[in-house]
C-alpha cells in the first residue's frame, strides 16, 4: 500500500476549516514544560479513569479484577496460566488460581472467562489513525470488503446517489481497481448519476475517477495536457478524457471540492468512531506513522483520554522541527508519553518510495512484462542527509520502502547515520519491506533494523503480485516473514489502514497460511510462520518497535493491563479460521473498553 500521496494530502490546509493546524481546535497551551503542567492538570480527571500509576497500589491492597477459568496466555511462547490478577491498571500476578486468589478482597471483581482465551492486547504498529478516521468519515466507503463485486459496487453507489439531493457531490473512497473489476471511467460513473458530480478515490491514494458532471465542474478542456507537478488526466483509446485522474496535483483540485471541510467537531467524532471500530477487532494500541502534525499533539493528547485504545505517533520528516519544544521530555529508546494522556511519540517517518500496486515502488528488477522499475522519492545522498538529521534529533527512523532498491539505499542511510550495529536510540524500522531480499533481512539483523510487514498484501494482492505485477518467483517471497524467522530477526505485522482493512486476526491468519483470499491460492508457503510467531508480531515485538516493550506487549507483573479476550483459542482452531474468531473484550490499563 502507499500512503505517500495520502500523507501529503491529509496535511494540506485545503481540507480543513481554519487550516490544518486547527484540526482538533486551537491548542490553548504552548508546547513548553509549563504548558505540559497545565495540560496535566486539565487532563487529570479523565486520566484517572484509565488506572493509577504503578506506585499507586501495592500487592497487599488486593486485586481490582481476577480472571479465571480460561486459557490465559501472558506472552506468546509461554505456557498458559490459570489466573491473572490486575490492579491500579497494572498486572499484579499471573499463575495458578490458588496463589492468585490470595489477592482477592471483598471489592475484587472475578471475571469468569468461561473457556475463552485471554492474551496481551493486540498492537497495530502502522495504522494511520487520524487519517483513517477523517477519510472514512468524509467519504462513502465503497471498498472491496463491503462490495467485492462490480455489480454490488455500482448498486451501492446508485443507492448513495438516490439518497443525495441532485447537484451535490458524491465522494467515494477505498475503491480497489485490482479487486473490484478494473478501472472505473466517466461512462461507468455516468450510469451511477448524471445529476451529481462524482469523485471516487482509489485505495492506492494516487488515482481517482470522475464522472462527466465532475469534469464539467472542473472546467476541463478536452485538449488539456499534463498538470504542473506531475498530475495528468486519463484518456481512452480514442484520445478522449475517460474520467481518470492521476497524482496529487489533480487529487488536490477535486477532493476539496467533493469533500466537506474538516472541522474540530468532525475530526474528534471521526477519531472516536474509528477507534471504537479498531477496539472491536481486538486492538488496544495504534501507532500512526507520519500523519500527525506537531500542532495537533496537545489537543490530540487531551482527546486520547477518551479513546478506547492507546494512541501513538511518529512525526513526518518535514515536520520534525516542531518537536523541539518537546525535547525536555527525553527522546530516546523509549516512547515519550505526553503527561496524563494516552498519547506517546516515537520516531521520525520518511516515505522512501511508492506502491507496488501502482508499480511505483523502487525495485532493482523491472515489474512483470515491462522495463519500469519504479523510482525512490530521494536519491541515496539526499536520504543519507535526511536520516543523519533524524539521528541528530536523538530518535529512531521509520522509512517506508516497498521495493528492494528503496530498501538498499534506506539501509545504507541508516548504517551511515547510526553505525553498523543496533542503535541505542531505539529500533529503526523499514515500513512494509514488501519485496525485501534475504540478504537485506540478514543486513537488517546486523544493523538492528527491523521490518514491519503489511501482510494484507499477501491476503488481498498475492494473486495480482504473482500474475500481473512481479511474476510467480518474486511474488512467493513478498512480505518475507519466514526469512526473518530463519535469520532470528524480530518483525511486526500491520494494516496500514486506511489502505488495508483493520483487524490483527486477518494478519495472523495470513502470516500462518499465506493464503490469498481472492483466488484461495497459497503465495509463498516457505514464508509461512507459526501462530506463536505471528502473535509475537502483534504483541511483544510490536511493543518494542514502538518504544513500549517495557510497558505493554506481555502480561508480566508490573506491566500495563492491556488485554484482548477471544472466544476461541488461535492455537487450536483451523489456521484458515483464525480471522473468524470473535473478539469478546478488550481492556486498556485495567479498564474494559470493548465487550
Confidence band, pLDDT 50/70/90 cuts, at residue 195? very high
Rounded to two decimals, the pTM is: 0.90
Domain 352-529 has CATH 3.20.20.140: yes
E-assigned strand segments in 462-576? 492-493, 515-516, 521-522, 563-566
Instruction: Determine whether domain 140-258 maps to CATH 3.30.390.50.
Output: no
Give the rounded distance of the alpha carbon of 165 from its chain centre.
35
Whose CA is closest to 252, among 23, 8, 499? 8
Q: Is the pLDDT of residue 36 over 90?
A: no
pLDDT digits (tens, 9 = 90+) for 392-427: 999 999 999 999 999 999 999 999 999 999 999 999
Query: pLDDT for 488-504, tens place per residue?
Result: 999 999 999 988 999 99
Q: What is the mean pLDDT of residues 35-45?
A: 36
CB neighbours of residue 510 within 10 Å: 30
Strands 65-72 and 591-594, by their bridges, are unpaired
- Write down the pLDDT at residue 231: 85
d(CA 298, CA 31): 8
Look up residue 108 and give its three cell numbers. 475484587
Task: Assign residue 503 a region (left: φ > 0; alpha: ψ between -120 and 50; beta: otherwise).
Answer: left
Q: What is the full DSSP assignment across 203-267? A: TTSSEEEE-HHHHHHTT--TT--PPTTS-EEEE-TTS-EEEEEESHHHHHHHHHHHSPPB-HHHH
- Which ranges of 538-574 does DSSP label H, i.e. alpha helix? 540-545
Q: How far apart are CA 221 and CA 218, in angstroms?
A: 9
Max Cα-Cα span within the chain: 80
Q: How far apart are CA 256 and CA 456, in angstroms?
A: 29
CA-nearest of 377, 542, 554, 550 to 451 is 542
Residue ranges per structural domain of the chain: 140-258, 352-529
Arithmetic mean of pLDDT over the chain: 91
**Nearest-angstrom CA–CA distance, 201 and 258:** 11
- Would you state the cell numbers that stand for residue 187, as one nine-digit string? 461512462
The pLDDT tens digits for 442-482 are 999 999 999 999 999 999 999 999 999 999 999 999 999 99
Nearest alpha-carbon partner for 562 in 50, 2, 42, 46:
50
pLDDT at 57 over 70: no
- Two domains, one topology: 140-258 and 352-529: no
Rounded-to-integer distance, Cα 74 and Cα 78, Å: 7
pLDDT over 90 (residue 12): no
In this prediction, residue 464 carries a pLDDT of: 96
pLDDT digits (tens, 9 = 90+) for 221-277: 999 988 887 789 999 999 999 999 987 788 889 999 999 888 889 999 999 999 999
Q: Which residue has the higher pLDDT, 207 or 401?
A: 401
Cell 476541463: give the residue: 220
Query: Residues near 380 by Cβ (< 8 Å), separated by ≥ 6?
Result: 409, 412, 413
| Averaged pLDDT for residues 104-131 | 97
Tell me the per-residue pLDDT of 274-315, one tens digit each, with 9 for 90 and over.
Answer: 999 999 999 999 999 998 999 999 999 999 999 999 999 999
pLDDT of residue 40: 34
Q: What is residue 60's predicted lDDT score, i.e. its pLDDT?
A: 55
- Tell me the three cell numbers of residue 312: 501513538
Grid cell, residue 519, equals 483466488
Contact status, residue 288 vs residue 128, Cβ threshold 8 Å:
yes
The pLDDT of residue 11 is 56
- pLDDT tier for residue 58 given thresholds of 50, 70 and 90: very low
User: What does the pLDDT look like over 360-391, one tens digit per residue?
Assistant: 899 999 999 999 999 999 999 999 999 999 99
Q: Which residues pair with 202 in a beta bridge?
A: 175
Half-sphere exposure (CA, 13 Å, Cβ side) for 194? Answer: 3
State the DSSP string of 364-418. SSPPTTSS-----SS-HHHHHHHHHHHHHTT--EEEEE-SHHHHHHHHHHHHHHH
Q: With beta carbons less than 8 A apart as the criterion, state whether 433 and 1 touch.
A: no
Amino acid at each position: 500500500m502507499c500512503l505517500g500521496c495520502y500523507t501529503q494530502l491529509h496535511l494540506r490546509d485545503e481540507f480543513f476549516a481554519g487550516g490544518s493546524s486547527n484540526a482538533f481546535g486551537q491548542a490553548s497551551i504552548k508546547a513548553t514544560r509549563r504548558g505540559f503542567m497545565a495540560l496535566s492538570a486539565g487532563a487529570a480527571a479523565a486520566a484517572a479513569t484509565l488506572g493509577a500509576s504503578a506506585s499507586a497500589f501495592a500487592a497487599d491492597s488486593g486485586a481490582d479484577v481476577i480472571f479465571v477459568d480460561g486459557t490465559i496466555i501472558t506472552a506468546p511462547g509461554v505456557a498458559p496460566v490459570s489466573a491473572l490478577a490486575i490492579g491500579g491498571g497494572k498486572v499484579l500476578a499471573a499463575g495458578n488460581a490458588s496463589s492468585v486468589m490470595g489477592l482477592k478482597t471483598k471489592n475484587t471483581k472475578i471475571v469468569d472467562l468461561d473457556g475463552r482465551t485471554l492474551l496481551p492486547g493486540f498492537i497495530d504498529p502502522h495504522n494511520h489513525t487520524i487519517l483513517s478516521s477523517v477519510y472514512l468519515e468524509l467519504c462513502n466507503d465503497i471498498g472491496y470488503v463491503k462490495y467485492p463485486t462490480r455489480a454490488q459496487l455500482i448498486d451501492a453507489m446508485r443507492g448513495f446517489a438516490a439518497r443525495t439531493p441532485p447537484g451535490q457531490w458524491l465522494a467515494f473512497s477505498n475503491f480497489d481497481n485490482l479487486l473490484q473489476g478494473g478501472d472505473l471511467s466517466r461512462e461507468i460513473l455516468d450510469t451511477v448519476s448524471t445529476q451529481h458530480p462524482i469523485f471516487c478515490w482509489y485505495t492506492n491514494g494516487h488515482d481517482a475517477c470522475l464522472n462527466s458532471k465532475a469534469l464539467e465542474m472542473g472546467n476541463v478542456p478536452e485538449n488539456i495536457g499534463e498538470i504542473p507537478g506531475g498530475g495528468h488526466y486519463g484518456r481512452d483509446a480514442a484520445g478522449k478524457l475517460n474520467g481518470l485522474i492521476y497524482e496529487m496535483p489533480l487529487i488536490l483540485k477535486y477532493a476539496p471540492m467533493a469533500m466537506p471541510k474538516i472541522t474540530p467537531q468532525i475530526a474528534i467524532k471521526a477519531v472516536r468512531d474509528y477507534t471504537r471500530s479498531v477496539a472491536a477487532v481486538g486492538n488496544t494500541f495504534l501507532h500512526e506513522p507520519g500523519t500527525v502534525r506537531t500542532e495537533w499533539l496537545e489537543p490530540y493528547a487531551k482527546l486520547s483520554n477518551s479513546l478506547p485504545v492507546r494512541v501513538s505517533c511518529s512525526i513526518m520528516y518535514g515536520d520534525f522541527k516542531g518537536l523541539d519544544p518537546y525535547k525536555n521530555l527525553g527522546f530516546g529508546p523509549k516512547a515519550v508519553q505526553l503527561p496524563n494522556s494516552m498519547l506517546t511519540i516515537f520516531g521520525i517517518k520518511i516515505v522512501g518510495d511508492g506502491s507496488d500496486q501502482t508499480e511505483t515502488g523502487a525495485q532493482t528488477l523491472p515489474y512483470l512484462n515491462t522495463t519500469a522499475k519504479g523510482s525512490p522519492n530521494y536519491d541515496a545522498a539526499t536520504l543519507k542527509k535526511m536520516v543523519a538529521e533524524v539521528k541528530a534529533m536523538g530518535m529512531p527512523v521509520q522509512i517506508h520502502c516497498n521495493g528492494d532498491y528503496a530498501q538498499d539505499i534506506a539501509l545504507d542511510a541508516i548504517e551511515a547515520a547510526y553505525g553498523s550495529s543496533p542503535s541505542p536510540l531505539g529500533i529503526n524500522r523499514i515500513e512494509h519491506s514488501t519485496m525485501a531480499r534475504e540478504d537485506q533481512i540478514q543486513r537488517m539483523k546486523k544493523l538492528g533494523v527491523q521490518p514491519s510487514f503489511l501482510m494484507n498484501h499477501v491476503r488481498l494482492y498475492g494473486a495480482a503480485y504473482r500474475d500481473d505485477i512481479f511474476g510467480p518467483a518474486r511474488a512467493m517471497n513478498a512480505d518475507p516473514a519466514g526469512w526473518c524467522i530463519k535469520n532470528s530477526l524480530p518483525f511486526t505485522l500491520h494494516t496500514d489502514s486506511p489502505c488495508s482493512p483493520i483487524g490483527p486476526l486477518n494478519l495472523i491468519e495470513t502470516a500462518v497460511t499465506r493464503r490469498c483470499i481472492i483466488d484461495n491460492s497459497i503465495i509463498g508457503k516457505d514464508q509461512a510462520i507459526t501462530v506463536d510467531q505471528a502473535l509475537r508480531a502483534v504483541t511483544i515485538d510490536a511493543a518494542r518497535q514502538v518504544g513500549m516493550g517495557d510497558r505493554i506487549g506481555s502480561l508480566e507483573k508490573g506491566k500495563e493491563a492491556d488485554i484482548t479476550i477471544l472466544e476461541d483459542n488461535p492455537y487450536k482452531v483451523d489456521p484458515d479460521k483464525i480471522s473468524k474468531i470473535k473478539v469478546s473484550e478488550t481492556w486498556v490499563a485495567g479498564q474494559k473498553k470493548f465487550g
